């Protein structure tokens, strides 16, 4: 079983890019894999259809059916608990688990992308860490390498441990092509405390470029999938 829950130290940290690159890496290894975004906020409309932007991003790697790609879809770009309240919808993590179980019966690997970080509220009583715990899968933390990341990454790591979650490791995104001394030291310091599973170089306008096979291959080469699978 190769299921993973991808979380981040913050919003816009690169979770969707990393999820998409893991998606491609698993495909290239012959694994039957499916990305799953249980709760998507910040959706946009195409005609009368509400589109999940993260799912549209995954489709740059490979087309997937929109059915069950998300479970809850909201237009406001805010935390899930607020988006649900604004839509008069109670987000039930048990129903998310049912969709996850259905997907896992048809795929070797489900890549579950959370919304924001582990402490982001889903409703008034559950957060993303509670969802990851319910699904009972290891988590991958996506983080930046720049100033402040030691605090943010270790806070996420220790919060995950306090919730009884297994942390497979951390993947750094938006890493400078020529790493600064600060980036090098931050990565080194964190690697002494948890596995570093990859350092993805920064690519400007990556949302426009990831469909390019050569760029996708170059970026996936910076992931240590064998090291990741040792934790699964």
pLDDT at residue 221, as a whole number = 96
CATH architecture observed for domain 4-229: 3-Layer(aba) Sandwich (3.40)
Mean pLDDT of 189-193: 98
Q: How many residues does the chain have?
A: 232
pLDDT at residue 66, as a whole number = 81
3-class secondary structure per residue, 172-200: EEEECCCCCHHHHHHHHHHHCCCCEEEEE
How far apart, in whole angstroms, are the C-alpha atoms of residue 27 and residue 31? Answer: 5
What are phi and psi for residue 196, nearest 5 degrees?
A: -95, 120
From 24, 37, 60, 133, active-site residue: 37
Any catalytic annotation for residue 37?
A: yes
pLDDT confidence band for 1 (50 / 70 / 90): low
Which positions make up the binding site?
A: 12-17, 41, 54, 113-116, 173-174, 201-203, 208
Beta carbons of 152 and 143 less than 8 angstroms apart: yes
pLDDT confidence band for 117 (50 / 70 / 90): very high
Which positions make up the binding site for ATP?
A: 12-17, 54, 113-116, 173-174, 201-203, 208
pLDDT at residue 140, as a whole number = 98
pLDDT at residue 200, as a whole number = 97
Strand locations in the chain, DSSP E? 4-8, 33-40, 44-46, 49-51, 70-73, 109-113, 139-143, 167-175, 196-201
Mean pLDDT of 1-5: 86
On the question of pLDDT at 71 being above 90, the answer is yes
How far apart, in whole angstroms, are the C-alpha atoms of residue 164 and residue 146? Answer: 28
- What pLDDT, in 10s, does the model give residues 214-231? 999 999 999 999 889 877
pLDDT confidence band for 181 (50 / 70 / 90): very high
Which positions make up the binding site for Mg(2+)?
A: 16, 54, 113
Tokens of 166: 């297994």
For the chain, the average pLDDT equals: 95
- Assessment of whether the complete model's pTM goes beyond 0.85: yes
Residue ranges per structural domain of the chain: 4-229
């Amino acid at each position: 079983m190769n299921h993973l829950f991808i979380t981040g130290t913050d919003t816009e940290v690169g979770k969707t890019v990393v999820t998409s690159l893991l998606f491609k890496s698993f495909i290239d290894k012959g694994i039957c894999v499916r990305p799953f975004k249980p709760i998507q906020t910040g959706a946009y409309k195409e005609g009368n259809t509400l589109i999940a932007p993260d799912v549209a991003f995954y489709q740059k790697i490979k087309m997937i059916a929109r059915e069950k790609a998300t479970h809850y879809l909201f237009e406001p770009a805010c935390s899930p608990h607020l988006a649900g309240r604004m839509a008069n919808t109670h987000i039930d993590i048990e129903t998310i688990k049912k969709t996850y179980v259905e997907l896992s019966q048809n795929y070797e690997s489900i890549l579950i992308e959370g919304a924001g970080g582990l402490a982001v509220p889903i409703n008034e009583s559950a957060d993303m860490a509670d969802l990851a715990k319910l699904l009972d899968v290891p988590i991958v933390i996506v983080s930046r390498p720049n100033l402040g990341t030691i605090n943010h990454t270790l806070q996420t790591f220790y919060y995950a441990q306090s919730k009884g979650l297994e942390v497979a490791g951390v993947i750094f995104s938006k890493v400078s092509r020529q790493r600064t001394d600060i980036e090098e030291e931050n990565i080194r310091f964190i690697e002494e405390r948890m596995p570093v599973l990859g350092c993805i170089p920064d690519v400007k306008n990556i949302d426009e470029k990831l469909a390019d096979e050569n760029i996708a291959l170059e970026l996936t080469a910076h992931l240590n999938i064998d090291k990741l699978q040792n934790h699964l």
